[in-house]
Amino acid sequence: MSSHLELFAQLTANGVAVGSIYALVALGIVLIHKATEVLNFAHGDLLVVAAFSAWALIDKAGLSFWLVLPLVALAMGVLAYGIDALVVRRIVGQPQFAGVMLTIAIAFMMRGLVSMGFGTESQSYATPWTGSSTEILGITVADLSLVIMGSVLLIAALLWLFFRYTRLGIAMQAASQNQLAAHLNGVRVKRVNSLVWALAGVTAAVAGIFLAPITLVDTSLWLITLKALAAIVLGGFGSLPGAVIGGILIGLIEQYAGVYLMHGVKDIAAYLVLILVLILRPTGIMGEAHGRRV
């Protein structure tokens, strides 16, 4: 392959890998937003807690990666459930802004606790795929990236099946569209919403555990929330497939911008996309338009 094409292909591979992580984080945020109309600014911090916990268990306690992954995922699910049940639930009925503020507050608190509990140094840990890579069509792809892409697809597929075919999934959809009606039909709305949070927590944990070996385990990982927001906006708010598509696109755009556009644009590429999409096409690629009846 010519070197240009090779570069492009390599960038594409990287972009899809990073984008998959964004997609996973975006999925979690969209899940919560669809259910409760709360935009969870603390999602990135759930990711950070998961990453640090994984580090502590793998590096310090010496547990196997395969044990740590489900353990931390479960723990994050429980943590997220608790956050909703104990804190976020109390602002039901208040305007959306209150929810945003509350999640920002929770984000701050988690960040503070992580700094205090785990220290401020960046950490890292080994995964079964660290250091190994595969050659596909002449380009080198890190094995970890392949695993990430695979797991994102798997999780997205599982979620789709879950919402389509299980009672709980349908109940979640009902609660997300009309809480009162769902409640009157026997859906335990509060519990369902907390379960949605738990689900989102699990996706955040998986994203965090896979992301940390690529970048470092650091409290600044929370910034991924913002990139995920850009992904959601691009894909269309309220759309789960949109979140995945948006995430991967943002990943690709960043990689291309890093090479083909001027220096420094890569860092703000995601945010420029967000601004442009909201100005030109607020509904995103797959989003729903909403109006108000007066």
Partner 1 sequence: MRFDYHTQYRQGFALLPHTSDRVLYGLLIALLLAVPFFASTYLLGELGYVLILCIAAMGLMVLTGFTGQVSLGHASFVAIGAYAHAWLMTQGLPFALSLPLAALISAGAGLVVGIPAIRVSGLYLAMVTLAFSIVVEQVIGLWRGVTGGFMGMLVPNPDLLGLSLSSPRAFYYVCLFFTLAVLLVLLNLMRSGIGRSFVGVRDSEAAAYALGIPVKRVKVGAFGLSAGVTGLAGALMAHHIGYLTPDAFTLLLSLDLVLMVVIGGMGSLRGAILGAILISLLPRAVAALKALLPDAMARQSGMEIFVAGAVLAFFVLFEPMGLNGRWLKLRALWESFPLYRRDTFRRQKSYMRSERNR
Is 5 or 86 the residue whose CB approaches partner 1 more closely? 86
Class of residue 79 by CB neighbours under 10 A (exposed 0-12, middle 13-18, buried 19+): buried
Site string for partner 1, 118-147 (x = CB under 8 A): -xx---------------------------
Q: Is 85 in the site for partner 1 (CB under 8 A)?
A: no
Structure tokens at 199: 């689900």
- DSSP-assigned letter for residue 223: G
Whose CA is closest to 84, among 109, 106, 53? 106
Distance, in Å, from the CA atom of 112 to the CA atom of 182, rounded to the nearest integer, reads 37
Using CB under 8 A as the criterion, what x/- string covers residues 179-198 for binding partner 1?
A: xx------------------
Q: Are 89 and 190 contacting, i.e. CB atoms less than 8 angstroms apart?
A: yes
DSSP 130: T
Identity of the residue, 152 or 229, whose beta carbon is nearer to partner 1 in the bound complex: 229
The reply on whether position 293 binds partner 1 by CB under 8 A is yes
Report the residue from 8, 108, 162, 256 that binds partner 1 according to the rule CB under 8 A: 108
Complex with partner 1: residue 31 or 73, whichever CB lies closer = 31
- Strand 133-136, strand 139-142: pairing: antiparallel
Task: Give the C-alpha separation, 128 to 17, whole Å.
Answer: 17
Helices (H), 131-188: 143-165, 167-177, 179-184
**Of the residues 2, 4, 61, 97, which one makes contact with partner 1 according to CB under 8 A:** 97
Select the residue interacting with partner 1 from 70, 95, 131, 150 (CB under 8 A).
95
Applying CB under 8 A, which residues contact partner 1?
36-37, 39, 87, 90-98, 100-102, 104-116, 119-120, 178-180, 219, 226, 229-230, 233, 237-238, 263-264, 267-268, 271-272, 274-275, 278-279, 282, 290-294
